[in-house]
Chains A and B, each alone.
Chain A
Amino acid sequence: MDQSEIDALLAGGGKPAKKGKAASKAAEADRAPAPPPPPAPPSAPSVRAEPHKDGSGHVISELDTVTSVTERESNKVMDQLDQISRLVSRQQQLITDMMRHEGAQSQGVQKAIHEVMTASKEIQDKVFEAMDLMQFQDITRQKLERIVHHLRQIHDYIVDLLGTGLKSDSERPSISHTIAQTGTTPDENKAHADAVIEAFKTQKKG
């Protein structure tokens, strides 16, 4: 395998002269334009040999571990945010009760309580924003899966080429094939998707 072939594999569009099953499957996932490939059968039986635990196989398993650990840790952060959110809701209930209290009916006290309520709502909004930002976990995981996918291709290609060594372990099916095109702002994503949907609907009508 020369550098250009490795580069082609890494770019996802390469068609090395000698291709293993893994490489052709991967090239399919990397998507040439139309016609779309048929959906992969669920849990296709693996034709691979035993996974190995050295070299690139080690890197692959490390990256797999990173993705599962980050998901677990992200859920812990979500748990904390959930708890903060519940506490803030409880606080807002207490503030509402306080407003109704007969000893709190003077204008000055009511104004102060309103300010506390406004601050509490701002905290709640920030908690929700933080939860929404946790989407990075899924997106980062899919980027890592894509890297793992390319590493498997390279690894299995080399094994095929040399005629020695063990193929990498089977991977998760259905990795993101166009994630490289995401990572723009949510607003840009939305505008792009909406434009495609609109064009599709117009074409369908016409």
Chain B
Amino acid sequence: MKILIVDDSSTMRRIIINTLSRIGYTDVVEGENGKSGLEKLGQGGVEMIITDWNMPEMDGLEFVKTVRAQNAGIPILMVTTNAAKEDIVEALQAGVNNYVVKPFTPETLKEKIESLLG
């Protein structure tokens, strides 16, 4: 199971990668914004996406919309500081399957990933 992690914070990417490895997912590719996320996705094999919202170059919302235009099925989890109700709804409308607000606990991330894959 290859997972694409898109976040402009390298610290945050490491935290997510650590959590994933603790629950058995070690095949990970990284992007630092939506644009590089699309590049990594284009290289193939990605089965799930975990993306931030606030990023330079291309933000997470635009990234999700672009991905959804090409791929309706891939599970997408958004992990972001944006916590307003209207943000969450906007992301869901754009096509994210689930949503985690930072800061999160590893249990939350685990639960959300498992529900996406379940």
Partners in one complex: yes
Report Cα–Cα, A173/B59, bound state, in Å. Answer: 8
| B-chain residues with CB within 8 Å of residue A1 when the two chains form the complex | none
Interface size class of B (residues with CB under 8 A): 35 or more
Q: Do A187 and B105 have beta carbons less than 8 Å apart?
A: yes
In B36-79, which residues have CB < 8 Å from any A CB? 53-59, 61-62, 65
Which of A34, A132, A181, A193 has most chain B Cβ within 10 Å? A193
Write the A18-50 contact mask toward B (1 if CB under 8 angstroms, else 0): 000000000000010110100110110000000
Measured CB to CB, the closest approach of chain B to A171, in angstroms, equals 9
Cβ B12 vs Cβ A138 within 8 A? yes
A190 touches B101 (CB 8 A): yes
Known: A181-B84, A192-B83, A193-B83. A131 touches B15 (CB 8 A): yes
- Tell whether, in the assembled complex, residue B61 and residue A189 are in contact, meaning their CB atoms are under 8 Å apart: no
Q: A39-B62, A190-B100, A193-B99 are in contact. Are A179 and B82 (CB under 8 A)?
A: yes
Stretch at the interface among A3-11, A70-78, A161-169: A70-78
Q: A71-B11, A132-B15, A138-B102 are in contact. Are A193 and B58 (CB under 8 A)?
A: no
How many residues does chain A have at the interface if contact means C-beta atoms less than 8 Å apart? 42
Question: Is B15 touching A175 in the complex (CB atoms < 8 A)?
Answer: no
Instruction: Kindly list chain B residues whose C-beta atoms are within 8 Å of the C-beta of A131.
Output: 14-15, 18
- Evaluate contact between A135 and B88: CB separation under 8 angstroms: no
- CA gap between A142 and B85 in the complex, in Å: 19
Report if A174-B53 is in contact (Cβ < 8 Å); known contacts: A132-B106, A179-B82, A197-B88. Answer: yes
Going nearest first, the 7 A-B pairs with the smallest beta carbon separation are A189-B101, A174-B59, A178-B84, A138-B9, A39-B62, A196-B88, A135-B103
